[in-house]
Amino acid sequence: MILAVVPPSEHVHWMFATGVLLMGVCLLAQAIVGEEVWNRRAWRRYLWPSLIFVLGLFMWPVMTFFTNSTAHMLAHGSWAQVLMFAGAAQLGLASGKLHSHYWRLTIPLALVVSGAAFLLHEQNGWLYSRSTFIHHLCGWTLIVGAIFPLALTFRPRSLPLGVGYAATLILLSVVLYTARDVAPILGHLSPEAGTPHR
Amino acid sequence: MNSQVATEASRPRIRRSARSIAVLAIGPTVVLAGLIWALAQPYRITLLHPHEQGFWWLFVQPPVWVMLVGLFFHAFVAPGILADLEEAER
- A37 and B88 within 8 Å at the Cβ level: the answer is yes
Q: Is residue B5 part of a domain?
A: no
**Residue A162 CB: number of other CB atoms within 10 A?**
25
Range of the domain at B37: 18-89
pLDDT tens column, A76-110: 999 999 999 999 999 999 999 999 999 999 999 99
Q: Which of A6, A21, A23, A159 to mutate to test the interface with B (most CBs of B within 10 A)?
A: A21
How many whole angstroms separate alpha carbon B25 and alpha carbon A154? 29
Closest CA to B69 of A9, A44, A21, A89: A21
pLDDT band at B12 (very low <50, low <70, confident <90, very high): low
Domains of chain A in start order, with CATH, are 2-186 (1.25.40)
- Find residue A185's DSSP bridge partners: A188
**Mean pLDDT, residues A145-168:** 96
pLDDT computed for residue A193 by the predictor: 65
- A29 and B78 within 8 Å at the Cβ level: the answer is yes
Q: Is residue B59 part of a domain?
A: yes
How many whole angstroms separate alpha carbon A53 and alpha carbon A180? 26
pLDDT tens column, B22-74: 999 999 999 999 999 999 988 888 888 888 888 888 888 899 999 999 999 99
* B53: Cβ contacts below 8 Å, ≥ 6 apart: B46
**Residue A151 CB: number of other CB atoms within 10 A?**
17
Residues A116/A118/A120/A124 CA torsion (nearest 10 deg): -140
How many domains is chain B built from? 1
Q: Is residue B38 part of a domain?
A: yes
Q: Is residue B61 part of a domain?
A: yes
How many whole angstroms separate alpha carbon A4 and alpha carbon B55? 9
Rounded to the nearest 5°, which phi and psi values hold at A185? -130, 125
pLDDT computed for residue A1 by the predictor: 52
Q: Is residue B67 part of a domain?
A: yes
pLDDT tens column, A30-55: 999 999 999 999 999 999 999 999 99
- Percent of chain A scoring above 70 in pLDDT: 95
Min Cα distance A177 → chain B (Å) is 7
How many whole angstroms separate alpha carbon A112 and alpha carbon A149? 11
pLDDT tens column, B22-34: 999 999 999 999 9
- A28 and B43 within 8 Å at the Cβ level: the answer is no
Give the total residue count for chain A: 198
In sequence order, which ranges of A34-146 are alpha helices (DSSP H)? 35-38, 42-45, 47-65, 70-95, 106-120, 130-145
Q: Is residue B7 part of a domain?
A: no
Min Cα distance B60 → chain A (Å) is 7
Q: Which residue has the higher pLDDT, A59 or A3?
A: A59
Q: Is residue B35 part of a domain?
A: yes
pLDDT computed for residue A124 by the predictor: 81
pLDDT tens column, A173-194: 999 999 887 777 777 777 776 7
> Please, how many CA atoms are within 13 Å of residue A69, restricted to the half-sphere of its CB?
7
Q: Which of A30, A32, A134, A159 to mutate to test the interface with B (most CBs of B within 10 A)?
A: A32
ipTM: 0.89
Q: Is residue B73 part of a domain?
A: yes
Q: From residue B69, give the alpha-carbon distance in Å to each of A6, A58, A179.
A: 24, 18, 19
- B69 and A22 within 8 Å at the Cβ level: the answer is yes
Min Cα distance B84 → chain A (Å) is 6
pLDDT computed for residue B54 by the predictor: 85
Which amino acid would we find at residue B66? Answer: V
Closest CA to A111 of A143, A65, A133: A143
Residues of A in contact with B77 (CB under 8 A): 26, 29, 44, 47
Residues of B in contact with A7 (CB under 8 A): 56, 60
User: What is the rounded average pLDDT for all residues in chain B?
Assistant: 88
CA A57 to chain centre: 13
